[in-house]
Structure 1
Amino acid sequence: NLKSSHSHAKLAETAHGVRMLSKNLYKATVTLDAHTVLIVTKARDNSLVFLTRELTEWILTNHPRITVYVDYHLEKSKRFNAEGLMKEVPRAKTALRYWDKLFVRERATTIDLVITLGGDGTVLFVSSLFQRSVPPVMSFSLGSLGFLTTFQFEEFRDSLSAVLEKGVRTNLRMRLACRVHRADGSLVCEQQALNEVTIDRGPSPFVSMLELYGDGSLLTVAQADGLILATPTGSTAYSLSAGGSLVHPAVNVISVTPICPHTLSFRPILLPDSMVLKVKVPKRSRATAWAAFDGRARVELMKGDYISISASPFSFPTVMSSPTEYFESVSRTLNWNVREQQKSFVHLLSKKNKINYEELNKPKFSLEEPDEISDDVDEEAIDEDSGVDIDDQDFSTHFVPSDGQGIETP
C-alpha cells in the first residue's frame, strides 16, 4: 500500500518500476487479428475518393477475412462506384459495408483497425468519433499537415501488409477528458480532446478572466485572451503557435499555455498528468467565455460555469511508422533545428592564392603518437608540469555499485 509506506527506498523502487513499465508499453508490439477495418476519408476532397476505392479493392482482394467499412456517403458516389467494385470483386457484396457516426459510437469495440486518408484534421475527426475506447489508427499523409500522418500512400501495400501480418507498435497518445459544468454543478457535456481544450473570450471585446485550479487549489487567475490546455500531441498545434513548448508524446504532461496574457510574466507551464485541473469563469468576470475541444463542439461558459480537465483513461493509439517518427515529423514540418551549413570559399581563390592557402593549412604535427619520448625531452619536467591536485580521472572517487546492484545499460 503506497499510502502507508514508511520506506522512501521502497517508493523510489516502485516509481522506477512504473517508469520501466511505461517504457515497455511504448515498445510493445501487438498482433492484430483484424476482421473489421474502418476507412475514414478526408471530407470535401473528391480526389481521395478514388484512392479510397483503390485501397478498399486491394484489401478485399488480398485479405479475404476482412470486412471493410467506408463512409456512408460513398454508397451512392459515382467516383467510388460501389456497383462496379462488386462486379470486379464479388466478395464485396458481403464484405463492403458503410459506417456513420451512430454505427461507430454503438459498435466501436468491433472495429479492429482504423485507416485515415487525409491530414491531421482527419485524425482529429477520428478522435471525436471514438469518445471511449479507440482501435489502432493508421494514418496516411494525404493532407496539408503531417504531424500525425506518418505513412505514405504510395507504399500502402507494403505498410498495410506488415501491419496486418506482423503486428503493430503504437503510440498510446494521451487525451484529455473534459467535462463542462454549469454553476450549479450540472453536467453540460463531456468531450475527449486529442490536441487541446481552448477557453477564450470568443466575440467579447473584454479580456477574459479565468480561474485555474489544480487538485482543488487555486493556481492562478488568468487575465488573457484565453488559455490552452494541451496534450503532448497538441503541443505542436495551437499551443506551439501561442509560445508553448514541444513535448514528446511519450511524456505524460498537460501543457498550460496562455493566449496573449495581460502580464508578460505569465509563461507556459507543464503540469503532471496526475493533476485534475479546473478552469472557472468567476462571478466577477466582465464577460462570458467560450470553450472548444480540438477546434470542435464550441460551448459558451457563463459566469460561474467551469470545466474539469484530466488525463483520459481512453488513450488514442496511433500506429508507429518508425521508432524516430516524432523527430522526423517535427523536422519535416517545422524544420526543427535546420540550418544551412557553413560553405568553403576556397573555390573563389585564384590559383596562386589557393596554393598559398594549401601551404599554410598543412598540418604542423602528426596525429600519431610517438612510440618513445625523445631523448631531448625531460621526463621529470613533464611529470611535474602535468601534476594536478584533483584528478577527475581517478575512478576511486566515483561511486561503483556492488555486484547485482547496478543499473543495466540498455
Structure 2
Amino acid sequence: MAQNRTIKAAWPVNKTSVNQFDPQSHSQPDHILHDGLPNRHVQPKPRHTQASHLSDTAEVVRQVAKKMGRARITWENPQSVLIITKPNDISLVRMTRELADWLIETPRYGQPSGITVYVDDKLRDCKTFCKKLNKHPERVDKLRYWTPEMVSLQPKLFDFIVTLGGDGTVLFASWLFQAFIPPVIPFHLGSLGFLTPFHFEKYASYLTHAMEKGVRINLRGRLTCTVYRHVSQTNANGTGHAPSLRQVKRNPITGKITVGEWSEETDYGPIPCFTTIPVEQYHVLNDLVIDRGPSPYMSLLELFGDDKHLTTVQADGLAISTPTGSTAYSLSAGGSLTHPEIRATLITPICPHTLSFRPTLVPDSMELRICVPYNSRNTAWASFDGRGRVELRQGDHIKVTASKYPFPTVCKDDQATDWFNSLSNCLHWNKRQRQKSF
C-alpha cells in the first residue's frame, strides 16, 4: 500500500498533504492522481473558449436566418381577409368589388361559402361598390367594413392582408398596423412596383395557391422612431417654468466641463440644465427623413450611435432608411441599394456641405440619435414614411432603433428573385445594349 506523503515538484501544487484531497472534489488539479503522484500521461480536458462560443453562436444565427428566409407558412382554415385600396379611385373600387365577390362566393374548407372580407369603411356608401351587393343581400354577413381604430385595436383579427395599388398603398398598410401586422399580399396596380410583385389578372390562382399550399414570407425590418421633446428641469421653487442652474467649472488645460464649484479662475459659472421626454413613436417601413423644412438655412444636426457622438451633420437633411427604403428617398440622395434581408440601417445625407460625408450602412443593432443642438440657427422637420410631419425645435431629438414588429410581405418567387426583378422593372437596373463582339 502506498504511503501518504507530501509531494514537492517544480510546478506549483497544493502544499497540504495529499490525503486531504477529496477524490470527488471538482477543485482537484487534473494533473494530480488520487495517490498524490503527478500524472504525466493524462492531458487537461479541452475547454471551449469564449471566442469559439461566439463563433458557434454566430454560425447558429446565420443558419436560423437562412432557414427563416426559406420557410413557408400555411394557414389553417383562414376566416377573414383585409383589403386595402384607394377608395377614391373608381377603377380600383371595381377591382375591390370583384375580389371581394370572389373571396365570399368561392366555397372553401368544406363550407358552402368563402371567407369574411373586410373593406374600407369609406366604401359603405359608395354606389359603385354597393351596386352588386344590393342584389345579393345574403353576402352582407360575409362583407364587413374596417376603420383605422378597429385595425389598431384588433390587428390579429385578420389572417392576411391584400393591397390593391402601388408602393404607397403598402406603406399605408404599414402605417395602419403600427405593431403586429398579418402577412401582406401586394398586387401591382400603381405607378411603381418595388413592393408589389403580384399581377391582379391572376389573383384567383395566386390567392388559391397561397391559402391551400402556403407562402414564403419576406420579413422586412422596420424602424422604431421615438420623438423626444426638451423640457426644463424643475427649478428650486418647483414651478418648472424656468431651467434649473448647476455650478460647473472648466479644466483650463483640457477644456472639459465638469460639475463642480465655480471660481473666478474659470470661464464658466451656472449653466441651464434641461431634460427630454418621449412624446411620439412611429414604426416606419421606408425611412425617417429630417430636413430643414421652409428655412433658408441648412440643417445643423448632431448624430449619435450607441450614445457616442458620430458626426455633426451640416446638410439639407438626413435620411435614416431601412433596406426596404433603400430604393426610395435614400436612393435619390445617393444611397446604396440594399437587399431587404440585410439587417442594417442606412444613413444617407441629403446634399451635405462636405463632399466626404458619404452614405453609410450601420448594423440595425446600433441605436441612433439625431439631435437639434441649442445653437442651431433654425428648427428641423421630420417625416415618417412621408407622414406625420413634425417640427423639431432646439434641444429635441429622435431615437431610432430596430422595430420588434417586422413587416411580412408574401414572395411571388423568393426574396432574391423578387428584389432583382423589381430593380429591373422599376429602375431598368444595369440595362444597356450588349457590346458587339469583334
TM-score (norm: length of structure 1): 0.81
Larger fraction in helix: 1
Whole-angstrom distance in 1 between the partners of 2:344 and 2:197: 23
In structure 2, the partner of 1:209 is 300
The correspondence for 2:161, drawn from 114, 128, 140, is 114
In structure 2, the partner of 1:336 is 429
In structure 2, the partner of 1:233 is 324
Question: Secondary structure in 2 aligned to 1:76?
Answer: coil
Whole-angstrom distance in 2 between the partners of 1:26 and 1:40: 26
Question: Secondary structure in 2 aligned to 1:117?
Answer: strand
Whole-angstrom distance in 2 between the partners of 1:50 and 1:36: 20
Deviation at 1:66, TM superposition (A): 1.3
User: Within 5 A, what are the aligned runs for 1:80-91?
Assistant: 80-81=129-130, 84-85=132-133, 87-88=135-136, 91=138
The correspondence for 2:183, drawn from 136, 145, 148, is 136
Whole-angstrom distance in 2 between the partners of 1:344 and 1:241: 35
Whole-angstrom distance in 1 between the partners of 2:435 and 2:88: 45
User: Contact (CA 8 Å) 2:103, 2:114: kept in 1 or not?
Assistant: no
Deviation at 1:146, TM superposition (A): 0.3
Whole-angstrom distance in 1 between the partners of 2:91 and 2:130: 14
Whole-angstrom distance in 1 between the partners of 2:320 and 2:197: 25
Cα shift readout 1:359-380 (whole Å, capped 9, x = no counterpart)? xxxxxxxxxxxxxxxxxxxxxx
In structure 2, the partner of 1:397 is none
The correspondence for 1:49, drawn from 93, 97, 100, is 93
Cα shift readout 1:78-109 (whole Å, capped 9, x = no counterpart)? 11125x32534x54120100001011001111
User: Contact (CA 8 Å) 1:180, 1:306: kept in 2 or not?
Assistant: yes
**Percent same amino acid among aligned pairs?**
53
For structure 2, the 5+ residue unaligned runs are 1-47, 231-274
Question: Secondary structure in 2 aligned to 1:331?
Answer: helix
Whole-angstrom distance in 2 between the partners of 1:21 and 1:211: 36
Question: Secondary structure in 2 aligned to 1:291?
Answer: strand
Whole-angstrom distance in 1 between the partners of 2:115 and 2:171: 25
User: Contact (CA 8 Å) 1:174, 1:312: kept in 2 or not?
Assistant: yes
Question: Secondary structure in 1 aligned to 2:276?
Answer: coil
Whole-angstrom distance in 1 between the partners of 2:381 and 2:90: 34
| Paired letter, 2:121 | Y
| Paired letter, 1:270 | L
Whole-angstrom distance in 2 between the partners of 1:206 and 1:91: 62
Compare 55-64 and 172-181 and name the one that shifted more.
55-64
Deviation at 1:342, TM superposition (A): 3.1
Deviation at 1:9, TM superposition (A): 1.4
Cα shift readout 1:204-253 (whole Å, capped 9, x = no counterpart)? 11110111100000000100000000000000000000000000000010
Is 1:188 aligned with 2:279? Answer: yes
What CA RMSD, in Å, does the superposition of the two structures yield over aligned residues? 1.4
Is 1:284 aligned with 2:375? Answer: yes
Whole-angstrom distance in 1 between the partners of 2:321 and 2:123: 34
Deviation at 1:36, TM superposition (A): 1.1
User: Within 5 A, what are the aligned runs for 1:243-254?
Assistant: 243-254=334-345
Question: Secondary structure in 1 aligned to 2:63?
Answer: helix
| Paired letter, 1:299 | V
For structure 1, the 5+ residue unaligned runs are 346-410
Cα shift readout 1:287-308 (whole Å, capped 9, x = no counterpart)? 0000000000001000000000
In structure 2, the partner of 1:19 is 62
Deviation at 1:10, TM superposition (A): 1.5
Whole-angstrom distance in 1 between the partners of 2:429 and 2:115: 40
Is 1:71 aligned with 2:126? Answer: no
In structure 2, the partner of 1:389 is none
Deviation at 1:65, TM superposition (A): 4.7
Deviation at 1:44, TM superposition (A): 3.0
Whole-angstrom distance in 2 between the partners of 1:343 and 1:253: 40
Whole-angstrom distance in 2 between the partners of 1:198 and 1:344: 47
| Paired letter, 2:64 | L
Question: Secondary structure in 1 aligned to 2:225?
Answer: strand
User: Contact (CA 8 Å) 1:233, 1:247: kept in 2 or not?
Assistant: yes
Number of equivalent positions: 339
| Paired letter, 2:129 | F
Question: Secondary structure in 1 aligned to 2:314?
Answer: strand
In structure 2, the partner of 1:105 is 152
TM-score (norm: length of structure 2): 0.76
User: Within 5 A, what are the aligned runs for 1:289-308?
Assistant: 289-308=380-399
Question: Secondary structure in 1 aligned to 2:282?
Answer: strand
User: Contact (CA 8 Å) 1:119, 1:146: kept in 2 or not?
Assistant: yes
Whole-angstrom distance in 1 between the partners of 2:127 and 2:140: 17
User: Contact (CA 8 Å) 1:42, 1:119: kept in 2 or not?
Assistant: no
Cα shift readout 1:89-147 (whole Å, capped 9, x = no counterpart)? x5412010000101100111111111000000000000000000010000000000000
